[in-house]
Amino acid sequence: MELTEGRFTSTAVGREVEYRVLLPADLEVGEDVPLVLHLHGAMSSSASLVLARPLYEELARRGRFPRAVIACPSTPTAGGFYLNWPGGESWETLISKEFPEHLAASHHGPFTANALIGVSMGGYGALLAAFAEPERFAAVAAISPAIFPGETPQTVAEVNTPSVLGDLHRSMSYGTGDAGTYAENSVYARARRNAARIRGAALPVLVDCGAEDEFRLHEGAGYLGEVLTELRIGHELRLVQGAGHIGPEAEVRTRNAIEFVGDALTPRGAESAANRRSCP
């Protein structure tokens, strides 16, 4: 696979955005391939795709991941968080619409499908975008997503909002503490509002988190699993025993998440994934 760097001027955020793209070295103009958006975590950048590159290449060699364009834009943490800020930068719009459109124009699109893989803050952003418009995505995989075990600002305990997670928690209501505003940026609220659409789209959903996550994100992952089960939204919830937020298990879990998306993007895998996702 070939890794390239690029920049484009975004209307959604009003600035130049740096990104990296991983694609087959022999990709032909007009070739039908899917697009995978690889969303990085807090205090990171598109360089996270460099670290994930060997996993994509390994799975592609083994036939467990299709020929695809894989792209990661650099997005800020504070003032970003993959949110659309009132009167300001619209990072959710960038990742879900503007950036894919730019890639389609510059990397042999349009694409046959779009999928999302996100880690930590990127896991939150991936779920947020996928649950807003489930028909637009072929799969979403969230690894240690930055989500909380509560659906309002008041029901999330302080112990679940350390450091940058506290910044995200406040940013979901744009610093106002207003429950309605918070819900607009809540993965749970979007799942509840669009449950019928998510079920209708048969969106493959993976939520993977270490059961001993240092930031207690496993509590949010478990809560999301309960909400999705309540809403009869098919999903896979993996709470990995002995695993934390990062560590030696992170590479295995990322590989498994990429494989999950790869399955959803191939006809044979899509059929078996649909069977695995069925809920009682």
Spell out the domain ranges in the chain.
2-271
What is residue 278's predicted lDDT score, i.e. its pLDDT?
Answer: 37
What is residue 108's predicted lDDT score, i.e. its pLDDT?
Answer: 65
Count of helix runs (H) and strand runs (E) in the chain: 11, 8
CATH of 2-271, one of 3.40.50.1820, 3.90.1150.10, 3.40.720.10, 1.25.40.10: 3.40.50.1820
Q: What percentage of the chain has pLDDT greater than the value 70?
A: 94
**Cα 226 from Cα 7, distance rounded (Å):** 40
Both tokens of 223, joined, read: 């809560």
Give me the mean pLDDT over the 12-27 stretch.
94
pLDDT at 259 over 80: yes
The arrangement of strands across the sheet holding 114-119 comes to 2-10, 15-23, 69-73, 35-39, 114-119, 139-143, 205-210, 236-240
Residue 269: half-sphere exposure toward Cβ, Cα within 13 Å: 16
Contacts of 165 (CB under 8 A, 6+ apart): 146, 148, 215
Give 122's pLDDT tier (boundaries 50, 70, 90). very high
Distance of CA 151 to the CA centre of its chain: 19
**103 near 35, Cβ under 8 Å?**
yes
Residue 140: helix, strand or coil by DSSP? strand
pLDDT at 267 over 90: no
**Cα 23 from Cα 56, distance rounded (Å):** 10
Tokens 């619409």 sit on residue? 97
Q: 205 φ, ψ to 5°?
A: -125, 125
The conformation of residue 90, written as its DSSP 8-state character, comes to B
Which tens digits make up the pLDDT trace of 154-171?
999 999 999 999 999 999
**Cα 28 from Cα 44, distance rounded (Å):** 31
Which tens digits make up the pLDDT trace of 215-228?
999 999 999 999 99
pLDDT at 276 over 60: no
**Cα 259 from Cα 215, distance rounded (Å):** 26
